[in-house]
């Protein structure tokens, strides 16, 4: 099964460095791939979120690559890892342990492919960890997970519990509606990045992306 998933991913994606972290090479579906403009029924994956490098995830990974201290020697959990870039950035910047987590097993397969391409090893998990105390971790990465209102409510409450338990929570987000003004008041802005105008289509029209840390 894993072998089939891996070959399907390799068949339909290309290796890309056209994003905010060109030092990472990632297998993605880009406008250069036939699937980019395919009709829904032609796509062999259900909701292939892992095949895109979302602007929130790009910002989180960029921040880690430029500020290794946030992950160095830390035990990092990347929730909703998608293509795995946040985890790969953390592994490159010498995190003690990195677990890439996503409920989509294709995301985990894509993360393993991308980790190998970037010469790092990450652990993976397909469990739904929302609500879990995550005792083995001290740093939580979130890349672009505030796109759905109901899920944003669940996620934010859980992240606050983890933060109150002493964990560092980093959130990459391009301005999704789930990251409301009242939520932003409970976080500190760490960085704001301009996204390349040439990748506007890939970034869903977003021109900037940001990284936040939940306030202690």
Ligand X SMILES: C[S@@+](CC[C@H](N)C(=O)[O-])C[C@H]1O[C@@H](n2cnc3c(N)ncnc32)[C@H](O)[C@@H]1O
Residues that bind ligand X (CB under 6 A): 49-50, 53-54, 56-57, 79-83, 101-104, 107, 128, 130, 143-145, 147
45 burial type by CB count under 10 A (0-12 exposed, 13-18 middle, 19+ buried): middle
Q: Which residue is nearest to ligand X (CB)?
A: 57
Q: Is 105 helix (H, G, I), strand (E, B) or coil?
A: helix
- Minimum CB distance to ligand X smaller for 66 or for 185: 66
User: Cα separation of 172 and 95, whole Å?
Assistant: 18
CB of residue 21 vs ligand X: minimum separation in angstroms?
A: 11
User: Cα separation of 108 and 90, whole Å?
Assistant: 16
Q: Is 91 helix (H, G, I), strand (E, B) or coil?
A: helix
CB of residue 55 vs ligand X: minimum separation in angstroms?
A: 7
CB of residue 164 vs ligand X: minimum separation in angstroms?
A: 20
CB of residue 51 vs ligand X: minimum separation in angstroms?
A: 9
- Minimum CB distance to ligand X smaller for 20 or for 216: 20
- Minimum CB distance to ligand X smaller for 107 or for 120: 107
As separate numbers, helices (DSSP H) first and strands (DSSP E) second, the chain gives 6, 9
CB of residue 144 vs ligand X: minimum separation in angstroms?
A: 4
Q: Say which DSSP state 52 is in.
A: S
Per-residue DSSP letters for 36-47?
A: GG--GGG-SSSS
- Minimum CB distance to ligand X smaller for 194 or for 216: 194
Structure tokens at 13: 């994606």
User: Cα separation of 53 and 7, whole Å?
Assistant: 20
Nearest Cα residue to 169 out of 78, 87, 50, 61: 78
CB of residue 24 vs ligand X: minimum separation in angstroms?
A: 11
């Amino acid at each position: 099964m894993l072998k089939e998933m891996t070959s399907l991913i390799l068949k339909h994606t290309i290796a890309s460095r056209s994003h905010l972290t060109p030092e990472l090479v990632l297998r993605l579906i880009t406008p250069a791939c036939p699937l980019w403009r395919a009709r829904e029924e032609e796509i062999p994956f259900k909701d292939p979120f892992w095949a895109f490098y979302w602007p929130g995830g790009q910002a989180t990974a960029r921040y880690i690559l430029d500020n290794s201290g946030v992950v160095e020697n830390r035990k990092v959990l990347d929730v909703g890892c998608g293509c795995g870039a946040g985890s790969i950035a953390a592994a490159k910047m010498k995190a003690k342990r990195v677990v890439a987590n996503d409920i989509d097993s294709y995301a985990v397969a894509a993360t393993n492919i991308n980790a190998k391409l970037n010469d790092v090893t990450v652990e993976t998990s397909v469990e739904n960890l929302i609500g879990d105390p995550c005792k083995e971790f001290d740093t939580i990465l979130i890349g672009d997970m505030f796109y759905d209102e109901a899920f944003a409510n669940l996620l934010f409450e859980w992240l606050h519990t983890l933060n109150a338990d002493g964990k560092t929570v980093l959130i990459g987000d391009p301005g999704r509606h789930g990251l409301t003004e009242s939520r932003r008041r409970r976080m500190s802005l760490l960085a704001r990045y301009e996204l390349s105008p040439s990748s506007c289509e890939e970034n869903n029209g977003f021109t900037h992306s940001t990284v936040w840390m939940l306030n202690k």
